[in-house]
Amino acid sequence: MNESTMTQIARRMLSAKAEQFTESVIREMTRLALKHNAVNLSQGFPDFAAPAEIKEAARQAISDDINQYAITWGAKPLRDAIVEKFERTQGVRVDPEREITICCGSTEAMMAAMMAIINPGDEIVVFEPFYENYGPDVILSGATPRFVKMRPPTDENSFWSYDENELAAAFGPHTKAIILNTPNNPTGKVFTRAELEFIRDLCVRWNAFCITDEIYEHILYDGAQHISMARIDGMRERTIVINGMSKTYSVTGWRVGWAIAPPEATSAIRKVHDFLTVGAAAPLQQAGAIALHSPQSYYDKLAASYAEKRARLLKILENAGFTVFKPRGAYYIMTDISRFPDPDPVRFAAGTKDVAFAKYLVEEIGVASVPGSSFYNESALHVLQKRIDLGGWRSTARQASRVILRQRLRTVAEERRHLQLHWHPHPGCFRKSGKQRT
């Protein structure tokens, strides 16, 4: 049997869905950061300790032998805590017995929700740039994505925005849902009430769900307010809220998340969740119930600490020559790298400039970031953006500052050399984790 025949057989045995997306670019950048001993400003996890009270609650739960299966859709103390917190922060009362499903992280909650509502032929509207998991989620659930581009700020007084006509054109008779991430990863956009109401009108007109990822709800800047879509008039029965412990309580490795949805949708989500993972870790759910009862001062302090980190890193990036887009929420900064010359095409071979520049930064400068094209479906059209993470900032602040500023010095020599080479990257070769290959 020749190699060609073997390849054909192997292809028939593998999922066509899995061939439509690649491994995570974000996690790949973390591996490169470890390989080159670089400062990791790519993957969204903090490098500071989780609150002592929450860790003690987890230890106590294990000692108390809360180590067997919890109820499949979640331990009651955690579900009750979610009800209390959602009502306190958003003014929306939900039923812990019929409208909450605890999952293995918000990633599983999103996947379970999409698998629970999608049928063949359904379409999902996705804003881009988007968190890279949304692409595979759409593909694996069997939906067809309809992408709507957000435009970056044009000056320091403007924000990421979408064109209402383009968004309206993306909806139609086959639209099952729109995915909304606010505060947004990677842009830091916080959707306003007016924007949410416009989306509401489209969901009502086309009888669609809004799946809203609210994992960064407490990381806000400059007076921005997080408004859950479930709080908007007419959306209580059309909204599936995805959230989790990872970002707010700095426990990204615990993998405890949840979905809040109307009873009928929750019933379907619970069935999908049951056969995906059975249930989230029981002792960590117990600790989660303690975490969600944290006082408002905890959340205020969290936001203030990230605001300080944002200010410091924005200054460093601007001094190093980056054009930065100031985020209003979450803990990422999108930048424009068009001012920088192209890296050496031999040493840092890549299909697009942003990927080559990411390789250059991690290998030569010692800083890991994420190529901006990995957040778009058509990556070749967005090769001049990068995402920088604020999470891993506390213990590495001085080191990151030093290596990023060193970039400015090195580009002087690089620019001279590249002016002689007259080299330009060929677009279209890079394929993003999470988007369909074309």
Based on the fold, state whether residues 325 and 228 are members of the same structural domain: no
Tokens of 34: 């470890």
CATH number, domain of 326, equals 3.90.1150.10
Distance of alpha carbon 369 from alpha carbon 26, whole angstroms: 8
The pLDDT of 348-376, averaged and rounded, is 86
* Same structural domain, 402 and 386: yes
| Residues 240 and 326 placed together within one structural domain of the fold | no
Distance in angstroms (rounded) separating the CA atoms of residues 410 and 364: 9
Q: Which residue has the higher pLDDT, 434 or 291?
A: 291
Q: What Rg, from alpha-carbon coordinates, does the chain have?
A: 22
In this predicted model, what pLDDT tens digit does every residue of 227-267 receive, in sequence order? Answer: 999 999 999 999 999 999 999 999 999 999 999 999 999 99
Residues 236 and 345 grouped into a single domain: no
Range of the domain at 327: 16-49+298-421
Quote the CA–CA distance of 430 and 24 in Å, as a whole number.
13
Asked if the model's pLDDT at residue 429 lies above 70, the reply is no
Residue 10 located in a structural domain = no
Structure confidence at residue 434 as a pLDDT band (50, 70, 90)? very low
Q: What is the pTM of this model?
A: 0.86
pLDDT at residue 103, rounded to an integer = 98
Residues 102 and 134 in one domain: yes
Residue 409 pLDDT exceeds 60: no
Domain count, the chain: 2
Q: Provide the pLDDT for residue 252.
A: 93
Alpha helices in 207-348 (DSSP H): 263-277, 282-291, 296-319
Residue 54 has pLDDT above 90, yes or no: yes
Whether residue 218 has pLDDT greater than 50: yes
> In terms of domains, do 177 and 319 share one?
no
Each residue of 2-35: pLDDT tens digit?
Answer: 666 666 666 678 888 888 887 777 788 888 888 9
Which tops the pLDDT comparison, 73 or 363?
A: 73
CA distances in angstroms from 342 to 24, 71, 180, 320, 407, listed in the order given: 24, 54, 34, 16, 13
Q: Is a pLDDT exceeding 50 seen at residue 422?
A: no
| CATH for 130 | 3.40.640.10
More confident residue, 412 or 89: 89
pLDDT at 9: 61
At CA 192, angle to CA 108 and CA 138, rounded to 5? Answer: 30
Q: Considering the domain boundaries, does residue 336 fall inside one?
A: yes
> CA-CA distances (angstroms) from residue 315 to 285, 324, 326, 401, 405?
39, 9, 11, 10, 11
Q: Are residues 125 and 43 in the same domain?
A: no
Burial of 305 (0-12, 13-18, 19+ CB in 10 A): middle
Residue recorded with tokens 């998340």: 257
For 272-282, the pLDDT digits (tens) are: 999 999 999 99
> Does the residue 180 lie in any domain?
yes
Are both 224 and 274 inside the same structural domain? yes
Q: Of 264, 293, 322, which closes a domain?
A: 293
Is 38 a domain residue? Answer: yes
Mean pLDDT of 52-72: 96
Sign of torsion, CA 136 245 368 370?
Answer: positive
> Torsion over CA of 232, 104, 268 and 272, rounded to 10 degrees?
150
What 8-state DSSP symbol labels residue 341? P
CA neighbours closer than 13 Å in the CB half-sphere of residue 239: 26
Residue 426 in domain: no
Mean pLDDT of 352-379: 85
Q: Is 13 helix (H, G, I), strand (E, B) or coil?
A: helix
Same-domain status, 366 and 393: yes
306 and 262 assigned to the same domain: no
Strands (E), 326-434: 332-336, 367-368, 370-371, 385-389
428 in any annotated domain: no
Give the C-alpha distances (Å, rounded to integers) separating 379 from 130, 140, 178, 356, 373: 12, 20, 21, 13, 4
Average pLDDT of the chain, as a whole number: 85
Both 102 and 245 in one domain: the answer is yes
Q: Tens digit of pLDDT for each residue in 118-166?
A: 999 999 999 999 998 898 899 999 999 999 999 999 888 889 999 999 9
Whether residue 57 lies inside any domain: the answer is: yes
Asked if residue 9 belongs to a domain, the reply is: no
The residue behind tokens 């250059």 is 360
Query: 338 and 325 in one domain?
Result: yes
